[in-house]
A = this chain, B = another copy of it.
Amino acid sequence: MIDEKMLSELYPFWAQLTPPHKAELSANTVLRTFKPGDIVHGGGQECTGVLGVISGRLRTFMLSDEGKEITLFRLVEGDNCMLSASCMLKNISFDVHVSAETPTQLAIISPVIYDKIAKTSPRVEQFMNDIISMRFSEVMWIVEQVLFMKMDKRLALFLLEQSALDQSDTIALTHEQIAGHLGTAREVVTRILKYLSGEGYITVSRKGIAIVDRKGLLKMTE
């Protein structure tokens, strides 16, 4: 059951809402849990709703018709996703995919209700626009990486970010999965990982990729 404390922590505008709006928003928010790998929002025409991460981690990514992917951004506890409610977003004509990376609990607000309240409350509208601008900036950073950064550098950066996200020196991802995050081919990832382990920055094993020389890896990303 959704309680107001959860919503007040997810939505800075909560305190400014009128009691009827609070009641309506709570009544139209569902709590859902997802297992690692579960699809939260499948893209296409659907309009899942406004996602608020109570716990766990989401991955937002693009998927081509040929099944090629790239990670756009991750969402962790306290983050919100509006792109999964594109039906309520004027001029947002693209769609993204969202999946759970860890056991994840979400508060999902009905896009119809969020939109209705936003139309009467500038703060709710503003929050939505702030989130969209933030995602725009995150996507632009990905564009910069894809266009201007060599893949070996991007992979080194990814390993460091992933290790920070997982709070572990070992990245338990397959070469295939890493390729999906970076929007490249598995062969490319395998080749670069071989180079990085040759340089002594990482070791590659069945369990995954272990960072053994963080300084060296960090230097590569400069």
User: Which residues on A are within 8 Å of B, measured CB to CB?
Assistant: 62, 64-66, 68, 70, 89-94, 122, 125-126, 129-137, 139-144, 146-148, 183
Of chain B, the residue at the smallest CB distance from A144 is: B62
A80 to chain B, nearest CB (A): 12
How many identical chains are in the complex?
2
Name the one of B68, B93, B132, B144 contacting A147, with C-beta atoms under 8 angstroms: B68
Q: Which residues of B lie under 8 Å from residue A91 when comparing CB positions?
A: 130-131, 133-134, 136-137
Q: Which residues of B lie under 8 Å from residue A89 when comparing CB positions?
A: 133
Task: Determine the distance from Cα of A159 to Cα of B130 in the docked complex, in whole angstroms.
Answer: 36
Name the one of B68, B126, B130, B147 contacting A62, with C-beta atoms under 8 angstroms: B147
Of chain B, the residue at the smallest CB distance from A93 is: B137
Q: Which residues of B lie under 8 Å from residue A129 when comparing CB positions?
A: 125, 129, 132
A143 touching B92 in the complex, CB below 8 Å, given contacts A132-B129, A132-B133: no
Q: Which residues of B lie under 8 Å from residue A142 when comparing CB positions?
A: 143
A70 touching B147 in the complex, CB below 8 Å, given contacts A91-B130, A125-B126, A126-B125: yes
Q: Which residues of B lie under 8 Å from residue A141 when comparing CB positions?
A: 94
Name the one of B64, B126, B136 contacting A136, with C-beta atoms under 8 angstroms: B136
Name the one of B62, B68, B90, B148 contacting A143, with C-beta atoms under 8 angstroms: B62
Q: Which residues of B lie under 8 Å from residue A139 when comparing CB positions?
A: 136, 139-140, 143
B183 touches A147 (CB 8 A): yes
B62 touches A136 (CB 8 A): no
A68 touching B148 in the complex, CB below 8 Å, given contacts A91-B130, A143-B62: yes
Most B Cβ at <10 Å: residue of A126, A135, A141: A126
For the complex of A and B, 6 pairs with smallest distance between CB atoms:
A64-B148, A91-B133, A94-B140, A91-B134, A129-B129, A93-B137
30 residue pairs from A and B, CB less than 8 Å apart:
A62-B143, A62-B144, A62-B147, A62-B148, A64-B144, A68-B147, A68-B148, A70-B147, A89-B133, A90-B133, A91-B131, A91-B136, A91-B137, A93-B137, A94-B137, A94-B141, A125-B126, A125-B129, A129-B129, A129-B132, A132-B132, A132-B133, A136-B136, A136-B139, A139-B140, A139-B143, A143-B146, A146-B146, A146-B147, A147-B183
